[in-house]
Amino acid sequence: MRLLLIRHGQTPSNVKRLLDTAEPGAALTPLGQDQADALPDALAAEKIDALYASTLLRTQLTIAPLAARTGLEVHVRDGIRELSAGDLELRGDDEAVETYMTTVFAWVSGDTALRMPGGEDGAEALRRFDAVVEEAAATGAETVAMVSHGAAIRMWSGVRAENIDVHYAPARELRNTGVVILSGAPGEGWRVLHWEGRAVGPDDSGIEASGPAGEAVDGIQGIQGIQGIQGGGGVNGGVEG
């Protein structure tokens, strides 16, 4: 199965640098809506068979133009929502952000028993995301697009993809409407093919600094140069929300 994991468009919480992970969450900014509107053209080369979004409002707003273009039903699933910030919810201070991201990337490194303060642990987060991926694979769809969230996509890809090491996902920000493309199947393994347009080879462990967040550009690159209308990136180079 070809799996397109797409981060939602920009939200006011992204702009304010807040850990916004609870339902229903923020809507899109005008730039975020522009990013959503650009997705169908950006993904025009993909023959998408199924669409999924999380239970948070921003993913459903982001996927709506793609659903309109393809005519596909959007399956809304709690399992691909953002990683819960727990007691850190709606905080944007450096201490909260550092705690959140340190916990998330400890999960990538294998410490899935570590619990977010007042929230879930890594095993729980992986289990719920896995369940949605398994559901999609069971439909027989060849290409599935899921609009999810930055930290959730980076964490799941960092753990499940066999061709990137523990440094890869933490070193790379995923900007609004950025896309991670994987190939594989539950029980057989996954490989990252592209990370925001960058082709990923076997055992790719190269580390490069994430670019600064919040950069707006005028256009959207094609699927081979993914992605997107950029802007409203993560908090402190990492918290996507």
Q: What is the pLDDT of residue 187?
A: 94
Q: What is the pLDDT of residue 241?
A: 79
82 included as an active-site residue: yes
Does the predicted model carry a pTM greater than 0.85?
A: yes
Q: Find the catalytic residue in 23, 46, 75, 82.
A: 82
What are φ and ψ of residue 235, in 5° steps? Answer: -90, 125
Q: Find, among 241, 211, 213, 216, the residue nearest to 230 by Cα.
A: 216
Q: What is the pLDDT of residue 201?
A: 75
Q: What is the pLDDT of residue 205?
A: 53
Q: At a CB cut-off of 8 Å and minimum separation 6, what does 8 contact? A: 28, 32, 56, 58, 59, 61, 62, 147, 148, 149, 176, 177
Q: What is the pLDDT of residue 240?
A: 60
What is the rounded distance in angstroms from the CA atom of residue 120 to the CA atom of residue 58? 21
pLDDT in tens, the chain (241 residues): 999 999 999 999 999 999 999 999 999 999 999 999 999 999 999 999 999 999 999 999 999 999 999 999 999 999 999 999 999 999 999 999 999 999 999 999 999 999 999 999 999 999 999 999 999 999 999 999 999 999 999 999 999 999 999 999 999 989 999 999 999 999 999 999 999 989 997 666 544 433 223 233 223 333 333 343 444 444 333 456 7
The domains located in the chain, with CATH, are 2-225 (3.40.50.1240)
